[in-house]
Amino acid sequence: MNSNKNCQWRIARRPSGNVVHEDFEYHENEIPKIENGQILLKTLYLNLAPVMRMYMSGKSIAGEAALNIGDVIHGRGVGEVIESNHSDYKVGDIIQGQMGWQTYKATSVTNSEKFRKVPDAGVPYSIGLSLFGMTGFSAYFGFFSSGKPKKEDTVVISGAAGGVGSIVVQLAKTLGCKVIGVAGGVEKCGFLEDLGCDIALDYKTGDIASKIKEVTPNGIDLYFDNVGGEILSACLDNLAQNSRIVLCGSISEYISVEPYGLTNYTNLRKTNSTMQGFFIYNHMDDLDEAEKKLKNWVSSGAVKPIEYIFDGFLSMPDSLASLYNGKNFGVALCRVSPGPYDL
């Protein structure tokens, strides 16, 4: 990789099943020149998210357009301003937003790119893609605004060892909830217990529906869904009265051929419960509030960023593919260039 070029990963073909290296195409271009009102960013970190396969498949989702063959892969990132002709940004500022899979970006900082400055919390700026990024904000608004949790609620979280899920676990514990995390494998369940889960369930062993029923004898007050499919169905069968289901993600269907068909959604009516999806971009005007509270929790030690970092821009395609095998803990990121506070 040439550090004096703008290196990019582009879509070479539509994925079939899991993404593979051949679905991507590597390019090197000249580093862009900036015009008046623009800044030049050097990429420090890039986010890796399962939803990226949906973009590559030609689907528009989560506020991002579908990718055409030859497009630079979508991806949020953290970058350092290295040149500026923009009155709101100076050289050395660290900002996060829609960078794309590339090592440099010239931008006018448009609303659609959703850039914002990353606060200095005395930790690596990767936190701009975890707690202080859309992952952390999704956890915060999904849990508090959509989930409307109460102290001592029984809260079940699927994908609990993932990016959003691991943050929701911590938020629920700060509120005093009984927290049940669902993840795949003994190692991940041990991680969840260390993180504070009262109970960790391994969906890869035994009947997950029976396990959920056993540990929620009084029903589920709040289910935070990152997975969809069988686990969502099992939770629908074990709702308490006036419970809430928050639909955040559906990783079980990102590489499946056929969507999972729910047949028990009428349990919502029987229990006077609600099931609500939410869209983080509808909360953009309230991000400062969320960031302030998250920063306070980080400072007090109540909440910590959980990051699974791959090293090197060239590793991006294979790193993304590994997410669908469920190997990562927390937010999956790629460190492209060392930044302040990186060891």
pLDDT digits (tens, 9 = 90+) for 30-85: 999 999 999 999 999 999 988 888 888 888 766 677 889 999 998 999 999 999 99
Q: Tell me whether residue 243 is in a domain.
A: yes
Q: Tell me whether residue 144 is in a domain.
A: yes
Q: Are residues 61 and 107 in the same domain?
A: yes
Segment 141-167 mean pLDDT: 96
Q: Are residues 95 and 205 in the same domain?
A: no
Which among 317, 343, 337, 340 is positioned nearest to 45, based on CA atoms?
337
CATH code for the domain in which residue 149 is found: 3.40.50.720
Q: Are residues 105 and 229 in the same domain?
A: no
Task: Identify the DSSP state of 302.
Answer: S
Q: Tell me whether residue 292 is in a domain.
A: no
Neighbours of 29 (CB within 10 A): 12
CATH code for the domain in which residue 82 is found: 3.90.180.10
Q: Are residues 208 and 119 in the same domain?
A: no
Segment 287-308 mean pLDDT: 93
Dump pLDDT digits (tens) for 163-178: 999 999 999 999 999 9
Rg (alpha carbons) of the chain, rounded to whole number: 20
Q: Tell me whether residue 299 is in a domain.
A: no
pLDDT for 98 equals 92
Q: Tell me whether residue 1 is in a domain.
A: no
CA 329 to chain CA centroid, Å, is 11
Structure tokens belonging to residue 283: 């909360």
Q: Are residues 243 and 190 in the same domain?
A: yes
Instruction: Provide the whole-model pTM.
Output: 0.90
Q: Are residues 234 and 321 in the same domain?
A: no
Residues spanned by the domain of 35? 6-130+305-335
pLDDT for 123 equals 82
Q: Are residues 140 and 277 in the same domain?
A: yes
Q: Are residues 119 and 208 in the same domain?
A: no
Percent of the chain with pLDDT over 90: 75
Q: What is the mean pLDDT of the chain?
A: 91
Q: Are residues 166 and 255 in the same domain?
A: yes
Q: Are residues 14 and 41 in the same domain?
A: yes
Q: Tell me whether residue 101 is in a domain.
A: yes
Dump pLDDT digits (tens) for 246-288: 999 876 666 565 667 788 989 999 999 999 998 888 898 999 9
Distances (CA, A) of 62 to 50, 66, 190, 200, 263: 12, 10, 31, 29, 26
Q: Tell me whether residue 297 is in a domain.
A: no
- Residue 42 β-bridge partners: 80, 104
Question: Which pLDDT band holds residue 3 (cuts at 50, 70, 90)?
Answer: confident
Buried b (16+ CB within 10 A) or exposed e, 214-236: ebbeebbbbbbbbbbbebbbbbb
AA letter at 164: V
Q: Which helix (H) or strand (E) holds 21?
A: none
Q: Which of 61-75, 297-311, 326-340 has the highest mean pLDDT?
A: 297-311
Q: Are residues 145 and 269 in the same domain?
A: yes
Please tell me the total count of domains within the chain.
2
Segment 288-316 mean pLDDT: 93
Looking up tokens 């940004």, which residue turns up? 89
Q: Are residues 211 and 124 in the same domain?
A: no
